[in-house]
Amino acid sequence: MRYIKTAVLMLLLTALVLVGPAYAASSYYEQARVLYNLNLYKGTSATYFEPDLESYVDRETAIVLVLRLFGKTSDVENYYDYRVQSILSAYSDGGDVSSWARKYVAYAINNQLFPGELQGSVLPKRYIDGKTFIGLMLNCMGYKLYGDQWTIAAYINSYLGGVSADDARYVNDKIISKNDMVAIIWESLDMPTKDYATLLNMIVDYNSISSSKLTQLGFIRVNGKLIPPAFYSTGLATATDYSVGYTMSDGSKYAGGTSGGVPDGFGVVTYEDGSVYEGYVSAGKRHGEGKLLRSDGFVYVGGWQNDMMNGKGAMTWANGDRYSGDVVNGSFQGTGTMTWASGNEYTGQWWAGNFHGKGKFKWNNGDYYDGEWNMGVFNGYGTMMRSNGEMYEGYWENGKRHGYGKCILADKTVLIGRWENDEYVGS
Residue 72 domain-assigned?
A: yes
Do the domain assignments include residue 235?
no
End-of-domain residue from the set 203, 227, 251: 227
328 lies in some domain: no
Assess if residue 290 is contained within a domain.
Answer: no
Number of domains making up the chain? 2
User: Which of 177, 193, 227 is the C-terminal boundary of a domain?
Assistant: 227
The 3-class SS string of the chain reads CEECCHHHHHHHHHHHCCCCCCCECCCCHHHHHHHHHCCCCCCCCCCCCCCCCCCECEHHHHHHHHHHHCCCHHHHHCCCHHHHHHHHCCCCCHHHCCCCCHHHHHHHHHCCCCCCCCCCCCCCCCECEHHHHHHHHHHHHCEECCCCHHHHHHHHHHHCCCCCHHHHHHHCCCECEHHHHHHHHHHCCCCCCCCCCCHHHHHHHHCCCCHHHHHHCCCEEECCEEECCCCCCCCCCECCCCEEEEECCCCCEEEEEEECCEEEEEEEEECCCCCEEEEEEECCEEEEEEEEECCCCCEEEEEEECCEEEEEEEEECCCCCEEEEEEECCEEEEEEEEECCCCCEEEEEEECCEEEEEEEEECCCCCEEEEEEECCEEEEEEEEECCCCCEEEEEEECCEEEEEEEEECCCCCEEEEEEECCEEEEC
For 100, the domain range is: 2-227
Q: Are residues 85 and 215 in the same domain?
A: yes
Low-confidence ranges of the chain (pLDDT < 70): 1-26, 232-245, 249
pLDDT, residue 277, reads 86
Q: Please report the pLDDT score of residue 238 as a whole number.
A: 52
Let me know if residue 301 belongs to a domain. no
Whether 197 and 54 map to the same domain: the answer is: yes
- Whether 257 maps to a domain, the answer reads no
Q: 223 and 86, same structural domain?
A: yes
**Same-domain status, 219 and 349:** no
Residue 352 shares a structural domain with residue 205: no
Task: Assess if residue 323 is contained within a domain.
Answer: no
pLDDT at 184: 94
- pLDDT for 25 equals 46
For residue 239, the model assigns a pLDDT of 39
Q: Is residue 308 part of a domain?
A: no
Supply angle C-alpha 369, 370, 376, rounded to 5.
70
For residue 366, the domain's CATH number is 2.20.110.10
Of 227, 244, 271, the last residue of a domain is 227
Q: Look at residue 240 in the predicted model and tell me its pLDDT.
A: 37
Q: What is the pLDDT of residue 415?
A: 93
